[in-house]
Amino acid sequence: MTREERVLRTISRQEIDYLPSQIYFASQTTKEKLQSVLGFSSPQDLEAYLDNHLYLTFTMDDVFRYREDHELLKRAEEMGFARVDWEKGIVYDRWGIGFDMYSDGFCIRHFPLQDEDALKKFEPPDPTRPGLLAVATEDLKRYSGDYLVVCTGYHGILEKAWGLRGFEAFMLDLALGTKDIERLLDAITEYKVEVARQVVQAGFKCGHTGDDFGTQRGLLISRDTWRKYFKPRWAKVWRVYKDAGLPVIHHSCGNITEIIGDMIDIGLDVLEPVQPVMDLAYLKREFGRHITFYGGIDTQELLPYGTPDEVKTMARETIRILGKGGGLIISPAQEIMRDVPIENVVALVEAIREERGAVLRE
Q: What tens digit of pLDDT does each residue of 15-50 get?
A: 999 999 999 988 777 888 889 888 999 998 999 999
User: What separation in angstroms does the CA of 124 have from each of 80, 92, 200, 236, 362?
Assistant: 14, 14, 22, 18, 51
How do residues 234-289 score in pLDDT, each as one tens digit?
999 999 999 999 999 999 999 999 999 999 999 999 999 999 999 999 999 999 99
CA distance 169 to 118: 13
Say whether the peptide bond before residue 308 is cis (omega within 30 degrees of 0): no
Query: Which pLDDT band, with edges at 50, 70 and 90, does 337 fall under?
Result: confident
* CB 205 within 8 Å of CB 148: yes
Q: What pTM was computed for the model? A: 0.96
The C-alpha atoms of residue 75 and residue 138 are separated, in whole angstroms, by 14
CB 22 within 8 A of CB 294: yes
Q: How many CB atoms lie within 10 A of CB 259?
A: 19
Average pLDDT (157-164) is: 98
Q: Percentage of the chain surpassing pLDDT 90?
A: 88
Distance, C-alpha 132 to centroid of its chain? 18
Amino acid identity at 268: L
Please count the helices (runs of H) and the strands (runs of E) in the chain.
17, 11
pLDDT of residue 207: 98
Q: Which residues contact 172 (CB under 8 A, 6 or more apart)?
A: none
Q: Is the pLDDT of residue 105 over 80?
A: no
Q: 3-state class of 89 per DSSP?
A: coil
Contacting residues for 307 by C-beta, under 8 A, at least 6 apart:
344
